[in-house]
Structure 1
């Protein structure tokens, strides 16, 4: 197979990028399958088991269905990958880590890149076969090539062939790069749809975001690609003085040693919307009088 004519893409609704092939625990098994059973996995995890994903450095990030990766190495049932649309200081090409090989598939690059895209704009959307039976529940911001369009349905190309999406769940664009750039207000309003969604370390889907996954994806929804991690997000974009904040700016929080550990979206009038930590859900808070007031250290702007 000519590698230059093919590309690797994610073949499950959400694939978790693990630190090492031996990182998953027995309780994580549902998230390793094809298809991955994200709901079963998340529901089985206690707060402590969720917290260990961070504290034990088990998880790095996640991929959405159809997301392109570079495969650097295959070791048994695992692939060492680079998520090329998740900028990171860890690798100039994108975000590195390991995923189960069965959660990836090679497709023809020309066919996958030729068509316009259907971007999922609903929180989740059913991917259906020609009998209208649900194949997968896909996350917000999953995008797939469009093969045909009808009044109520869109036929999309998937790693396994053609399937259908409801027209009301998607927006059609000529390409990923053609998603229009919106205002800071629009970025924050996108976040409102996910209030109370439980935090998930490494989370990059509508089934659970971590703090920087939330800010990354709300920007992605509005036409901006920003770095994946909070520490990287804090070093790019436009520096903003803390007394000149605009809605949609990113607020960063650090420990006394200067290590940035959190990011949120400025929502105006000293409010912030953010995905706080394991055991909590996305929330809108008034920053003054909270621990975040003391830890606020820098702001950045990516919106125009």
Structure 2
């Protein structure tokens, strides 16, 4: 189980660069890591995905140098039917705690990010806990703060305004969730409000609602239902591929030939009409 706010999943330990040290260890600081990189460094291919606090993994191999090969069980894909495989520092994992089912005792972070504190309004224990992270409520609210279990912490406190019960009230539409991330930098493999890629934006937006979709764009196309181009609605997905190639990009439909997406060329999440070049590679519209 992930014990840090955001853990990065690497293709191999050898892919880690000196600039990536801020993303490693128990002090993984994703905001400063992303801010420290140039635009080109943000699209290095060493990062496969990221995992959120409390996310469960299956451990396949443990190395003596502090690295663990895992499968991210909540991020399905075709690389491994169990989930998304990759490498993670052992320091970012902890034994899984017994957690309640997704019921009234379970909360989900609805703020873009929040901090977990030692006492109500007290010192920060874990900063930058992401949108979509599941927390187990551990008691009654005190002055606007809720006690929760998270990662390997038995009791920390979160602002009640930053979390909701997944079963309480009317949930937002996935497009509304994604719209909160407009302007977030494009980071290859990113899955946070500090850096995200195109399929990560889709995965995280539906994950906030308790809906699991695959991590990669091509796998997302396989797992969703095609609708005729021209009949797509806001919240549907546009998929893009070059002739004879696998799908390489996905965006969330906002209107006729408009989408919200993590744009590689602009290096941020934007909402815009499809350009002529983009329209040439549009191959399908799908519905989750």
Q: Mark yes or no: TM-score above 0.5.
A: yes
1:233-244 counterparts in 2 under 5 A?
233-244=220-231
User: Which contiguous aligned blocks of 4+ residues in structure 1 show a shift greater than 3 angstroms?
Assistant: 178-183
Change (3 A) 1:282 1:234: same
Q: 2 CA distance for matches of 1:264 and 1:202?
A: 15
Change (3 A) 1:277 1:221: same
1:13-24 counterparts in 2 under 5 A?
13-24=5-16
Equivalent residue for 2:258, pick from 271, 276, 293: 271
Matched, 1:299 2:288: no
> What TM-score do you get using the length of structure 1 for normalisation?
0.87
8 A contact 1:71–1:80 mirrored in 2: yes
User: What SS does structure 2 have at the residue aligned with 1:244?
Assistant: coil
Matched, 1:68 2:56: yes
Q: 1 CA distance for matches of 2:21 and 2:15?
A: 11
Which region of structure 1 is more displaced relative to structure 2, 138-147 or 162-171?
Answer: 138-147
Q: 2 CA distance for matches of 1:231 and 1:88?
A: 9
User: What SS does structure 1 have at the residue aligned with 2:88?
Assistant: strand
Partner in structure 1 of residue 140 of structure 2? 149
Partner in structure 1 of residue 41 of structure 2? 49
RMSD across aligned positions (CA): 1.9
8 A contact 1:19–1:59 mirrored in 2: yes
Instruction: Specify every segment of 5 or more residues in structure 2 that has no aligned partner in the other structure, as ranges.
Output: none
Equivalent residue for 2:47, pick from 34, 56, 59: 59
1:76-225 counterparts in 2 under 5 A?
76=64, 77-109=66-98, 112-113=99-100, 116-130=105-119, 132-137=122-127, 138-150=129-141, 152-158=144-150, 159-173=152-166, 186-225=173-212
Q: 2 CA distance for matches of 1:78 and 1:63?
A: 15
User: What SS does structure 1 have at the residue aligned with 2:116?
Assistant: strand
Deviation of residue 149 (structure 1)? 2.6
> What TM-score do you get using the length of structure 2 for normalisation?
0.92
Deviation of residue 279 (structure 1)? 5.3
User: What SS does structure 2 have at the residue aligned with 1:267?
Assistant: strand
Instruction: Specify every segment of 5 or more residues in structure 1 that has no aligned partner in the other structure, as ranges.
Output: 1-8
Deviation of residue 278 (structure 1)? 6.2
Cα deviation digits, residues 136-184 of structure 1 (max 9, x gap): 22111111111113151110012132100000000024xxxx588968x
Change (3 A) 1:179 1:101: farther
Structure having the higher helix fraction is 1
8 A contact 1:50–1:278 mirrored in 2: no
Q: 2 CA distance for matches of 1:212 and 1:253?
A: 12
Which region of structure 1 is more displaced relative to structure 2, 209-218 or 267-276?
Answer: 267-276
